[in-house]
Amino acid sequence: PVRYILPVPGRSQRLCVVTAQGSIYRLAAEGENWRLQGQEALPHGMEPQEMALVTRSQASPLLLAITRDGVLMSDDYGANWTLAAQ
């Protein structure tokens, strides 16, 4: 099941979807197919309590996952994660 639907800020036709299993899909443009960004992309055992996409000037949006263990961030729509804070 889908857990989060996140619109890409400033790009109303782009979406990022996170499933309950932690898989992340991205719709790049209207009429395109969904792309799997990462199967069970979040580190093992880190279940997101909240997620958000944040715009940055001259860079791709930052995907944030707030977990009980800290804040994870990804600048490639969830393909890779960095633990930003604990």
Query: What pLDDT sits at residue 86?
Result: 65
CB atoms under 10 Å from CB of 37, counted, come to 20
Q: Residue 72 and residue 45: Cα distance in Å, rounded?
A: 13
Q: Residue 77 and residue 17: Cα distance in Å, rounded?
A: 10
Query: What pLDDT sits at residue 12?
Result: 63
Query: What pLDDT sits at residue 44?
Result: 66
pLDDT of the chain along its 86 residues, tens only?
788 888 877 666 678 888 877 778 887 766 678 877 766 667 666 778 888 888 888 887 888 888 888 888 888 878 788 888 76
